[in-house]
A = this chain, B = another copy of it.
């Protein structure tokens, strides 16, 4: 078997690219009203989703997309070798409890908002490496559970700065398989934690943009490709300002991606929706990738894109202790087949 990664590089390539055989998405009301509202499987108007707490509502969304994705793949949970999942809540409780209910061997991940792409990258390695036939990946986030955990009590109604982003309420799941039909994952680039000293926990786009640019540039260098090779570079949740900063950083690295660069956080809300700098959260890149982007690939309108999950490694404790907010970005290449 040829080496799947060259020494000193961050990009692995898949000899037998794993297939994304099924996906599922759920979003909240605000996301349903956005420009991509029609691309999601289900829009839930009630933030509690019929449960007693927001946390249970979030978990119900995650469980539902996972069950839907498995069912669409014509599989049962017992046919899934590994579940790779995570979320933003402390101790990733949404993922843990969902894993319990599904009964699939579980690998818990924490990559902040990069977790969807972290799970796709790892899941693809487990399949191509010979350890799995089918892997289920998924993430969730919820505006109300995240805001009160990361920022202020919800009841306080704190005014948000204009550069703040809006945590997306929703969940996304995908089944990756060794065989089947659908878009394939051809490469994965695992990112480094990058910290340019940004310390404002409300400005996550600026915290993540250097990591996004680092992973994109590294991917292009590792693969000896030019930006034109891809129809699109799409980051998870840099938002309006983070996207601009990533573009500038890419120019400094010698790459102009301005004609082919978008961000799920920018795409998911319209400016009139008062989401300020755009969407964020694990579900932001999750639902846009498993919804709109993969639909475009399946329809042939998007041939090949490099998608990145972007994570602000933010913690209320570290912020209160005066630490900066480092960022990370993991990317995978998704191609139509």
Contacts and interface: CB of A to CB of B under 8 A. Distances in A.
Interface of A: 1-5, 7-8, 10, 12, 52-53, 55-56, 78-79, 81-82, 86, 89-93, 96-97, 99-100, 103-112, 118, 122, 125-126, 128-133, 149, 190-195, 313-318, 321, 323, 326, 328
A21 to B, nearest CB: 16
A314 B131 contact: no
A90 B317 contact: yes
A8 B103 CA distance: 12
Nearest to A95: B110
The oligomer's copy count stands at: 2
A223 to B, nearest CB: 15
A91 to B, nearest CB: 4
Given A109-B109, A129-B129, A90 B316 contact: yes
A154 to B, nearest CB: 14
Given A56-B321, A108-B110, A130 B1 contact: yes
B108 A109 contact: yes
Nearest to A178: B3
Contacts of A7: 79, 81, 133
22 contacts: A7-B81, A7-B133, A10-B105, A55-B317, A55-B321, A56-B321, A82-B190, A90-B91, A91-B110, A93-B317, A96-B193, A96-B313, A97-B326, A100-B193, A100-B195, A103-B192, A103-B193, A105-B190, A105-B192, A107-B111, A107-B118, A129-B130
B112 A318 contact: no
Given A91-B110, A190-B82, A323 B1 contact: no
Contacts of A81: 5, 7
A52 B12 CA distance: 40
A130 B128 CA distance: 10
Contacts of A52: 321
A118 B108 contact: yes
Given A56-B321, A132-B5, A326-B100, A313 B105 contact: no
